Chains A and B, each alone.
Chain A
Amino acid sequence: MRPPPKSWPPTKGSEPLPNAPRIAPPVSAARPAGKLRGARALSGPLPWLLPALIMLGLFYLYPIAEALRLAFTDARLFDQATEPSLDSIRRVSQSAALPVILQNTLVYTVASVLGQLGLGMAIAILVVRAERARLRGTMALRTLVLAAWVIPAIANGVIWQLLFSEAPFGAINSALRMVGFAPVAWLSDPSNAMLSAVIATIWQGTAYSMILLYAALKSIDPALNEAAAIDNATGFERFWFITLPHLRAALLVNAILILIMTLNMFDTILSLTGGGPGRATEVLSLFAYNTVFQSFELGRGAVLSILLLIISLTLTAAMVVFLPRERK
């Protein structure tokens, strides 16, 4: 049995509220069931989410679907009319370069992510402690670190190329010579070249990491540290038992974001070493770029992009498992 229609305007008990205007009930109340369902759908979250879904579909899902389609063809940049084929996947999997590229990607990504996390945390702690101690110049320090972040990655590579230059007038080597050290083959030695690429990436990415961890550090209740200090906890103990557990979520989110950014990073390496000497610094994203824009192999480039996507998603999923869950 349908409940009787509620009175309108609102009543106190059975009596209308004093001074309430006598107006007609809302139109929806008089609508048939079909229109009611439509109205409910429109009043739900869908209309609000639709623009975002359309944008995501157009600019994220469609390119992924297109890359997936191309991966199953042997398309070239100027010859895309091809039949479905596993040729690109076969060629990528049989490429003698792939193991080297994957190894480079692993070394570069792990070293860069750890470096950005560690240095970002160190600077964030330094800034927070300096602020608590009301030291002057903390704002300048934050600005200085952030300056590296706003520099385009290509320019970052060029700047570090000048610094690492092994010419007699190269900046870092000249400084080393002045203090009595031998110059270092920063870019021409294959193992040093990877280290140089990692340093350039850490230098730029640390700011992002610092900002996230700085915000997380500011949200830790100072009373916890004060209480621990009263209990004679050492600085390391306070960091290990108070700061670190409270930063767990921020650290994991930070690590995930940095991981994805680093895996996709190719422009810094492109302008710093071009992937050389040989393939010493060629990572997966740069390999995909070179495959499409140097060799014009669209199908192979799509396979490499999908491989990069799978690696990113797998590592992200693995890290999400360790994210702290909300207690019910």
Chain B
Amino acid sequence: MTFRAIPAAFALLATTAPVWAEDLITRNRVGPADAPNALTFRLTAFDLYSADPATAAHFGDLFTDFILAHPGWRIDTQLQTGAIAQEQARIIEQTRAGRGPDCAMIDSSQLATFKEAGLLAPMTPFFTQEQIDDLFPFVREGVTDANGDIAALWWFTDLRVLYRDVTLVPEPPQTWADLQQAAEVVAAQGLEGILFNAGRDEASAFDWLAHFWAQGGELVDDTGRPVFFEGENREKFLSAVAFFADLVESGAAPRRVTALSSYDDLLASAVAGSTGMFIGGNWMYNQIQITMPPEQAANWAVSELPGPTPEQRATGTGGWTIAALTDDPAKTEICAGIAQLYAGPGNAFQGLLPTSVSLFEEFETFAGPEFDVFVSALQNGRARPSVPIYPEISNQIQILLGNVLSGSMTAEAALDEAAAEVMAAYERL
């Protein structure tokens, strides 16, 4: 190094010092506090602000790289609580009043409501046609708005699968009858045969819907009108309800499923060794590995949800999206960049399911055998219908399941009541 180079090095240090001397990640900000451009981003507490230090550190690094690649920008972060429906409603309210975030994580189940309200800025210019074509069909359909624009990036998906203790249920049940028979065998040993959510929560409705969809049932027609209670759909609906009711009546499933509305309760029973099978989300595979001793975790296997016949399969696919709620194209571009950050390296770190085939191939994380099951099941994936009446349909299905499985109402009467409530809400739309 020459003497001339030393002052130059000091000068460079002096210009860069403010950047690295300042903490770029705080509890409510990413980037320098005095950046001239700011974007507000409302996110959940599972990544950048995760309680897990490793996850928070990894996302901290990703965001630091991102903000350094976008000089002059600052991301003002706002946390969402776990009350998803209430949080999403709040974002709608605030955005309509002009006080909403520029960019936000939106639950895929609520995306249709946001699209219907016309709150989302098109993101199409920020994705290549190749990237759009690479999305799974149900994802592409879900994020496309009425004008054919990409309204959000569905950055990860999830699906419902059957977990079983192979020491109790060696072979994966292929049909509803197989499942009931296997569960009855487990129950005869004094354990709970199979558990699933059937309490008052969206998870209950969505987990059950896979059995309705497996028969080809449709909740709404092409115009978005609810049709699940009429014609062939009615028969399929009642058949799927009867499947759950039979599980409870036969003792294959305990009646307490009507009080279950959290996947954590299912996991707790698996860890306690008190159940032989449960219907859960793909993300629970990792939770099983973490919470159980290795020798116990090795006993748990995952398989596709059984159908009425081996050929009739379906699984509900959910996940989260990131969307822009601003008219400013520059902010929309930053928002799209954040979404891609989550969809690629973010998912790879967390083991969340990507929404496009190429990302499965790009990252080593998705090479495990469980992902073969997940990718195979995704071929039969069904997303929630992208219609604003869906939340009310879900609400009524939750009530129906509770009433029928607790023995308070017959399936037919409960379906008629649900249909009346849904149609009354639909007429208002």
Contacts and interface: CB of A to CB of B under 8 A. Distances in A.
Contact of B255 (A87, A188, A273): A188
Interface in A53-97: 74, 76-80, 87, 91, 94-97
Interface of A: 74, 76-80, 87, 91, 94-97, 165-169, 185, 187-190, 193, 273-280, 290, 292-297
B416 to A, nearest CB: 9
A187 B428 contact: no
B403 interface: yes
Contact of A96 (B86, B256, B420): B420
A167 B92 contact: no
B258 interface: yes
Interface SS of chain B: helix
B330 interface: no
Given A76-B428, A168-B274, A277 B406 contact: yes
Interface stretch (B127-135, B228-236, B261-269, B362-370): B261-269
B116 interface: yes
Given A78-B113, A278-B409, A292 B199 contact: no
Nearest to A91: B424
Given A166-B254, A168-B272, A273-B199, A294 B259 contact: no
Contacts of A91: 424, 428
A267 to B, nearest CB: 10
A277 B408 contact: yes
Contact of B89 (A273, A279, A293): A293
B392 interface: yes
Given A167-B256, A169-B274, A278-B403, 9 more contacts: A95-B421, A166-B259, A169-B272, A188-B254, A275-B200, A276-B199, A276-B258, A277-B405, A294-B395
B144 interface: no
A153 to B, nearest CB: 14
B32 interface: no
Nearest to A90: B424
A95 B428 CA distance: 14
B391 interface: yes
4 pairs of A and B residues whose beta carbons are closest in the complex: A274-B200, A278-B403, A277-B402, A278-B402
B408 A278 contact: yes
Contacts of A187: 256, 258-259
A77 B89 contact: yes
A80 B421 CA distance: 21
Contacts of B47: none
B113 A277 contact: no
Given A87-B428, A188-B256, A296-B113, A279 B274 contact: no
Interface in B381-429: 391-392, 395, 398-400, 402-403, 405-406, 408-409, 414, 417, 420-421, 424-425, 428-429
A195 B265 CA distance: 22
B357 interface: no
B85 interface: yes
B76 interface: no
A270 to B, nearest CB: 9
B406 A278 contact: yes
Q: Is the interface of A mostly helix, strand, loop or mixed?
A: loop
A271 B219 CA distance: 28
Contacts of A296: 89, 113, 391
Contact of B402 (A76, A79, A165, A280): A280
Contacts of A95: 421, 424
A165 B255 CA distance: 12
Contacts of B425: 295, 297
Contact of A188 (B89, B406, B421): B406
Interface string B89-115: 100110010000000000000000100
A295 B399 CA distance: 13
Contacts of B392: 294-295
Contacts of B192: 168
A279 B399 contact: yes
Contacts of A166: 254, 256, 259
A10 to B, nearest CB: 61
A252 B85 CA distance: 38
Contact of A293 (B85, B200, B274): B85
B428 A78 contact: no
B86 A190 contact: no
B257 interface: yes
B261 A274 contact: yes
5 contacts: A77-B92, A78-B116, A190-B406, A278-B400, A294-B392
B201 interface: yes
Nearest to B398: A276
A278 B399 contact: yes
Nearest to B110: A296
A256 B361 CA distance: 65
B117 interface: yes
